[in-house]
A and B are shown apart, each in its own frame.
Chain A
Amino acid sequence: MRKSNFFLIGLAICTILLLLMFVHAFFKREAEAKFIQEKSEMVRMLGLTDLCLFTEASYTRHLSQADLHTPFQDSPMSFEHFPSGSIAAPPPSLRKINGKMD
C-alpha cells in the first residue's frame, strides 16, 4: 500500500473522530440538561450563591461572598490558600486524613 494511503486513512479516521466528538458533546449536553436543571433548582430552593469547588477556606468556598479582608483570617498561622493553592500542591503530610471511620 502506498504511504499516502496510510496518511490519508489516518487523517480520515481522526476527522471522523473529531466529528464524533461534537456528536458526543451534543448528546452528553442533552443527557446532562436535567442534572444541570436539578442543580439550578437546588440553587434556587436553598438560595445558594456559589459552586462547591474549592473547599479549603471559607473565602474560597464562597468566592462571591468573600471580601478583601478574608484571606489570613481563618487563623493567625493559616497560609493564604488562594492563589498559591492553585499552582502549588500542598505537602502530602498536611492533607493526611485520619483513619477510616469504620
Chain B
Amino acid sequence: MGKWIERQRNIIDFTLSSLLRKKGKNISLLCVYTLVVLMLASVMFFVHSIKKEASMILKDAPEMVVQRMIAGRHELIPLAYMDKIKNIRGVQSVNKRLWGYYYDPVVGANYTLMVPDHSDVPAGNIMIGRGISRVRLAFPGDTLEFRSHDGKIITLEVKKTLSPESELVSSDLVLISEDDFNRLFGRNRDSVTDLTLHVKNPRELSTIALKISEILPDTRIILRDEILRTYDAVFNWRGGMMIVILLGALLAFIIFACDKASGLSQEERKEIGILKAIGWETSDVILMKFWEGMIVSLSSFLLGILLAYAHVFFTSSMLFEPVLKGWAVLYPQFKVVPFVDASQVVSLFFLTVVPYTVATIIPSWRAATVDPDSVMR
C-alpha cells in the first residue's frame, strides 16, 4: 500500500512540475473552469433552495381561491356567492379576502393592500412591510399619505412594521382596516376581491371545484396545488433561463477544454515519447494524464462549489441580483436558506470533473501506445 501511495505521489510531483512549466495556460484554464463551476453551482443552489423554501412557506396558502371573471378580467365577487359555495357539501368554511394594489408615485412602486381577516389594525392605522418602510423611510408613529379613488388625500399612521424575517412574503404589504380600504378604493360593500375556502376532505377539492364552476360559471378557481406548481415552474423557467445565458460561456469553455485536453501538442507527444523511451510504461503515462486531468478539474470543481455556496448564501446571490430584481423598485431583502444536498454536488461532479478527466486520458492513451521512436521524430 505504502509503495502504491509513493508511486502516486511521485507521479503527482512530476505532473505538477509539467503543469507549472506551462503556468500561464494552465492557470487561465483553472480560472475559467472554476468560473464555469461557480455559475452552474450558483444557479443550481439558488433555484433548488428558493423552490424548497417557496413550497414550505406556501404549504399553508388557501386550499382554494374563487375569483369572478368578467370579459376575461378579474372582477370583485359578490358576497352572495359565499352562501352558494357554503351550501356545497364538503365545504368547511368560506372566507372573504379584501386586497388590491396601490401605485405610489412618490417611489414609483406598487404596494399590495390587504385587509386582515382577524383584524388587529384599527381604522386610521396601517402595518407595513419592510420594503415599504425602507423606500418611504417610514417607521412606527410616522404617517403615510394615500390618494383615494375620489382624489382625496387619506393620511394613515404606521402602527407597526412587519418583521424583517417575513420580507419574502410581506415586503410590499400594507395591512389596512376595512373602513380605510373602503374609503381608499370606494368599494361596493356587497363585493369582495375574492373568496378562499377550506374543505373537510382535501381529496374532494377537485370535485368541489367542479361543483363551484357548475353553480357559478363566471368564476375561476385556483387550487393550492396550482399555486405551488406555479412557483415550481417559475423557478424552473428562471433557472433554465440562466442556464441558457450560461450556455454560451459553457460552450466556449468546452471548446477550450477539448482543445487543451484532446488535441495533444507536438511537445506533449514528444514528452510522452521520451518518457516511454526512458522506461515508463503505458499505464504510467495514462496515470500521469489522469492526475493532470484530476488536478485541474478537481481543484476547479472544489473551488467553484465553495465560491458558489458563498455567493448564493452569504452575498444573497450578488451576481444574479440585477436579473432577479428586474424592473422592481421595491425588492425584498432576504437570504436564501441553504437547502443543499449531496445529490446536487454529485451531479455537478459528474457534469464537470468526469468529462474533462476522460477527455485528457483518451488522446494520451493513443499517443502512449505508439512506438516512442516515431513519436519523438
Contacts and interface: CB of A to CB of B under 8 A. Distances in A.
Interface of A: 2-4, 6-8, 10-11, 14-15, 17-18, 21-22, 24-25, 28-29, 32, 35-36, 38-58, 60-65, 67, 69, 73, 81-83, 85-87, 89-90, 94-95, 97-98, 100-102
Interface residues of B, number: 90
Contacts of B117: 45-47
Given A10-B299, A49-B227, A67-B74, A42 B166 contact: yes
B222 A55 contact: no
Interface stretch (B101-109, B151-159, B183-191): B101-109
A43 B112 contact: no
A81 B57 contact: no
A3 B65 contact: no
B248 interface: no
Contacts of B58: 43, 49-51
B327 A56 contact: yes
Interface stretch (B200-208, B332-340, B352-360, B364-372): B332-340
A86 B238 contact: yes
B169 A52 contact: yes
Contacts of B328: 54-56
11 contacts: A8-B12, A11-B302, A18-B302, A39-B169, A43-B60, A44-B60, A51-B57, A52-B168, A55-B110, A69-B72, A86-B326
A52 B173 contact: yes
Interface string B167-199: 111111101000000000000000000001000
A77 B36 CA distance: 39
Contacts of A65: 65, 67, 74, 222
A8 B295 CA distance: 10
A40 B241 contact: no
Contacts of B173: 46, 52
A41 B60 contact: yes
Interface string B131-164: 1000111100000000000000000000000110
A47 B171 contact: no
Contact of A86 (B56, B168, B241, B313): B241
Contact of B163 (A38, A47, A58): A38
Nearest to A91: B327
Nearest to A73: B73
B332 A29 contact: no
B241 A87 contact: yes
Q: Which of A11, A21, A46 has the most CB of B within 10 A?
A: A46
Nearest to A13: B302
Contact of A21 (B138, B175, B237, B309): B309
Given A46-B117, A53-B332, A83 B227 contact: no
A90 B327 contact: yes
A61 B108 CA distance: 15
A53 B168 contact: yes
Contacts of A40: 56-57, 59-60
A43 B118 CA distance: 13
